[in-house]
Amino acid sequence: MNAVEIGWIAAVAFGASLLTFFSGFGLGSLLTPAFLFFFPPDVAIALTAVVHLLNNVFKFGLMRTHLDWSVFHRFGWTALFGSLLGAALLLQVGQLAPIPWIGGRSIPPLKPLIGGLLMVFSLFEMGPQIHKGTLPRAWLPWGGGLSGFFGGFSGHQGALRSVFLLRVGLSPAAYVATGTAIALAVDLARIPLYGMRFGADLLSTQAPVLMAAVGSATAGAVLGKQMLKKLKVQWLQVLVGLVMMGIGLGLFLGRL
């Protein structure tokens, strides 16, 4: 990747990391599509996971005192096991032969799958009404398994996680801290499986862009903590959703 491309990825990482402090998700939602412009879907998801992990380690250090352990235990363990299943499925689908698709071209089956999921999850970004109401905490394990599975398969764990965590009465700080701890558990579970597929070569060959993305995401997290009580960015979440919808449609049609 050249300097301009790396700079673009870094800018997306900064903005997406900042967004996570207000929506509880966004880093994977935006960074995965950014990587998809330059890498196959399974590689893009793996690279995003590395940035996601390191950003969550830093963010958890900032917010750990606000963690709600009860919610974490109910949601986090099933999310961890769900992510293992999702990551295993991603690696299997990623090795399938290209299939005939729209327009007579052949594309890897992972592209329309990830594209379709991007379009679905874009609706979570654009539909804040989904987050209204309350939810019994007995539902948390089911939500954990579901969000963990999609976290492992497509990298989109945060949107589903937020649907549940926003409805169990957490304070804004506890919501961010608990969501970060759960995301960290998912990352620690799925990345070793990705590593078995791609090995350390991926990290070494893409070190410049990974370092730029991690540094920018860290800066976004620092700024996000300072702004947590001062700013709400619902309009930005709608913009994120529209971008995800467009990229997802391009992947689904085999144009990206």
Question: Can you tell me the distance from the alpha carbon of 223 to that of 18, in angstroms, rounded to the nearest whole number?
Answer: 7
Three-point CA angle 256, 56, 234, nearest 5° = 65
pLDDT (0 to 100) of residue 68: 93
For the chain, the structural domain boundaries read: 3-252
Residue-level pLDDT at 220: 83
Does residue 14 surpass a pLDDT of 60?
Answer: yes
Q: What is the reported pLDDT for 86?
A: 93
When comparing pLDDT for 131 and 121, which is higher?
A: 121
Instruction: Work out the mean pLDDT of the chain and round it to a whole number.
Output: 83
In the prediction, which pLDDT does 71 show? 92
Task: Please state, for a pLDDT cut of 70, what percent of the chain lies above it.
Answer: 88
Q: 23 or 144: whose pLDDT is higher?
A: 144
Q: What's the pLDDT score for residue 233?
A: 52
* Residues 46-101 pLDDT 10s: 999 999 898 889 888 888 899 999 999 999 999 999 999 999 999 999 888 888 88
Confidence at residue 84, expressed as pLDDT on a 0 to 100 scale: 95
- The pTM for the full model equals 0.80
Q: What SS3 state is found at 107?
A: strand
Under DSSP, the state recorded for 24 is S
Summarised one tens digit per residue, pLDDT across range 195-237 is 888 877 777 888 899 999 999 988 887 887 776 555 555 566 6
d(CA 243, CA 13) in angstroms, rounded, equals 15
Compute the average pLDDT of residues 106-131: 76
Average pLDDT of the segment spanning 19-33: 72
- Please state whether beta strands 99-100 and 106-107 pair in parallel, antiparallel, or not at all (unpaired): antiparallel
Q: In which element (H, E) is residue 106 found?
A: strand 106-107
